[in-house]
Amino acid sequence: MKSYEILRLRASFLKAVRTFFDERGIMEVDTPLISRYASVDAHIELFELQGGFYLHSSPEYRMKSLLAEGSGDIYQLGHVYRRDEVGRLHRPEFTMIEWYRVKMSFQAFVRETLELCSLFMQNDDYEIITYTEAFHKCFDVNIADVPLEKLLRLAGRNSGGREELLNILWGLHVEPQLGKNRWSVVTDYPIGQAALAKIKEGYAERFEIYFDGIELANGYHELTDPIEQSRRFEEANDVRVALGKKPLPIDLDFLKSLEKGLPDCCGVAVGFDRLLMLHLGATSIGGVLPV
């Protein structure tokens, strides 16, 4: 496909996404790309700028600050940045769709996310499968009962923590089996992979959507407790140190926003370029970027 044709296609889908939100009364916002603080994640590396600033890997923190100020339902469509991410499905700069719904049920929010994804792929067929069920289908075991020694053997490692090994096995063996000719919605993640999601009945209220083995969306019933949020940031930094990475500065402005009171809400980040890649049947996101 020629570059000008890709530009036109991207423009048509950017318009379709904005129309999707406009029709639902969700306001578009435009938050800063640069922050004094980092997005703290054990496995995401950031671009650090002169003066101790960072390019954001997601507009999440600033968007949640707006929610705490009373913005109501909001979305953002723009570029995000992650260092050292290059490959068939990764670029250090890519386009993300992120939005938040106040007082919408987790189940309704999952359905809305599927509706947006279906703008790119005309497929209404989907399955909802728990994290545990996905592992069971792949390995025929209840992953919660598997001892660490067996996880090491399955992952082909001599050492590693439980969550690290689960992530390896998920990426190598489970993900490729998800989303075969339909959307796979994975729910009920273990507490150790809650990230910024609330915990309910022993599981994280988190979901991911896959098609053709490709992760397209990562959403949460959002954590609103600033004390628990701070603890999880510290925990993520501890994991970074254990992996030989430097800890990242915690966003104190974001925690102050949570103290004001983040409303009950759900949020999700969706990969625009990956959806466009699937729409075109391209082999990598490089085939759908404008240059």
Per-residue model confidence as pLDDT tens digits over 33-66: 999 988 899 889 999 999 989 999 999 999 999 9
How many whole angstroms separate alpha carbon 245 and alpha carbon 238? 9
Give me the domain span that covers residue 281: 3-287
Number of folded domains that form the chain: 1
**Residues of the chain where predicted confidence (pLDDT) is lower than 70:** 1
Q: What is the pLDDT of residue 290?
A: 82
How many whole angstroms separate alpha carbon 148 and alpha carbon 165? 9
Q: What is the pLDDT of residue 158?
A: 86
* Tens of pLDDT, residues 123-135: 889 999 999 999 9
The answer to whether residues 254 and 37 touch, using CB atoms and an 8 Å cutoff, is yes
Q: At what angle do helices 3-23 and 272-280 cross, to 10 degrees?
A: 120
The answer to whether residues 288 and 280 touch, using CB atoms and an 8 Å cutoff, is yes
How many whole angstroms separate alpha carbon 149 and alpha carbon 158? 9
Residue linked to tokens 């067929």: 125
Q: What is the pLDDT of residue 192?
A: 87
Tokens of 202: 């022993």
* CATH number of the domain where residue 204 is located: 3.30.930.10
Q: What is the pLDDT of residue 243?
A: 86
